[in-house]
Structure 1
Amino acid sequence: MSGLAPLLDVTATESQKAYEQFFQCIDSRSMAPPALQPTTKIVWNGSPLGGRDAFMAMLAQMPTTKHEVTGFNVHPFPNGDTNALNMMMDTSGRVQFGSERGANIFAFQATFVLRRAGAGAPLVTEQLVYRLVYKPADATISI
């Protein structure tokens, strides 16, 4: 088991950084999350999108968001290369659409497949599936 400990530590640390950066970027709308690639496969609420640029265009049409991650679960999967890092990460929590205090708060779940090609290479998102899992009856927006 001791051989797995370093991999699990790195996986936990890197995945937390990845989701924090992702949600910070989409909530601030200042830039595309760096881990998203033009070829990242993205499914948003059941609708496939054509990669990073289509995702950012869709986001620009939506109200502002504020995500609060309340849970995450990550699983490394080895690929035979000790310098590479591969993982599947699930995040869940609450997201508020718009700025009206206490309104339009939804529950969400997002699953990422993240890969690093080798030592020192950046972590990239190969796949992202995002789903709103709860919509309050009094929501004033339709997503």
Structure 2
Amino acid sequence: MSHQTMPHRTLTGGCLCGSVEYAVPDEFLYALNCHCSQCRRTTGSAFKPFAGIERGKLSVTKGVESLLIFGNEDGHDAHCKACGSLLYSVVRDGEFVHVTMGTLVEDPTIRPTAHIFVGSKAPWYTITDNLPQHEGLP
């Protein structure tokens, strides 16, 4: 059976405390590691690994009332207001979501293909893989 004819499975994800859970098909269009200062601040990490998919394909299955939305309808970060976990970001004029890969329970098929915004990466972090590095957006 070729990869094109195999049905995609549904992945689940959630926050640290379990208040919020989501489901998303394993149909991500792209995945990147973002080193911009905003992603570093919101994750508390050197970079944010994320996978992009059409917004309508992600559904919050538990705890919609526990979401803390930082931003507006067409561009925001969605955190759990109890534990603070960053679950996803709504981007590209509200058309796509960037799911934080660390909140996925199952292993997605996709892998990050590049590092972006390395022009503003944390000076204390050294990128040690061989993925392409872009100063900003590719």
- Relative to the length of structure 2, the TM-score reads 0.28
Larger Rg: 1
Structure number with higher strand proportion: 1
- Relative to the length of structure 1, the TM-score reads 0.27
